[in-house]
């Protein structure tokens, strides 16, 4: 499920100005994943997810060893710092600004902050279930304090 959520966030957010300044929405994107246990699940989902969006994605995904493919090490390092800042509350409304990396930067690292909300998770689950043609799914809606069918989730 994490793969579908990530791909939906990436695909549907590409035209937002904060994303478009980092990744040109008209350029095809290739994905490189760390060669770990998720490989089989990603490969199983890739064609089914990409088929209707083929023009926006590049080659078949690549899986590399992060000890040999240095850009994955850099991504892991940045992800660790972003996770630390999130734990400090830096991305919450009114929270402190991220203090920055503990080393001097010669250039700004292009980045996109992707905040996840209950509503975005609900929209994601709906699209995942529709894409995978799952039967009716009952979910607990915390706001309504009851079990609802997925199609009955609030969208606004």
pLDDT in tens, 14-49: 888 878 888 888 888 888 988 887 788 888 888 777
Q: What is the pLDDT of residue 134?
A: 64
Positions of the chain with pLDDT lower than 70, given as ranges: 1-2, 131-136, 150-156
Query: Cα 34–90–82 angle (5° rounding)?
Result: 15
SS3 15: coil
Q: What is the pLDDT of residue 153?
A: 43
Q: What is the pLDDT of residue 70?
A: 92
Q: What is the pLDDT of residue 60?
A: 83
Task: Give the CA distances from residue 13 to residues 19, 106, 136, in Å, rounded to whole numbers and listed in that order.
Answer: 7, 28, 27
Q: What is the pLDDT of residue 152?
A: 43
| b/e sequence 25-40, b meaning 16+ C-beta within 10 Å | eeeeeebebbbeeeee
Q: What is the pLDDT of residue 1?
A: 61
Q: What is the pLDDT of residue 69?
A: 92
Sign of CA dihedral 119, 34, 53, 129: negative
SS3 138: strand
For residues 16 and 8, give the distance between their C-alpha atoms in angstroms, rounded to a whole number. 13
Q: pTM higher than 0.75 for the full model?
A: no
């Amino acid at each position: 499920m994490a793969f579908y959520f990530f791909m939906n966030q990436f695909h549907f957010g590409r035209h937002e100005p904060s994303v478009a300044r980092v990744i040109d929405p008209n350029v095809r994107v290739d994905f490189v994943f760390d060669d770990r246990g998720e490989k089989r699940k990603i490969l199983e989902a890739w064609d089914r997810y990409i088929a209707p969006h083929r023009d926006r994605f590049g080659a078949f995904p690549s899986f590399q060893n992060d000890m040999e493919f240095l850009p994955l090490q850099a991504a892991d390092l940045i992800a660790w710092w972003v996770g630390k800042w999130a734990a400090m509350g830096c991305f919450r409304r009114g929270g402190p600004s991220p203090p920055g990396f503990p080393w001097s930067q010669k250039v700004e690292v292009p980045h996109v902050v992707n905040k996840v909300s209950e509503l975005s998770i609900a929209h994601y689950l709906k699209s995942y279930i529709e894409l995978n043609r799952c039967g009716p799914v009952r979910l607990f809606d915390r706001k309504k304090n009851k079990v609802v069918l997925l199609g009955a989730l609030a969208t606004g």
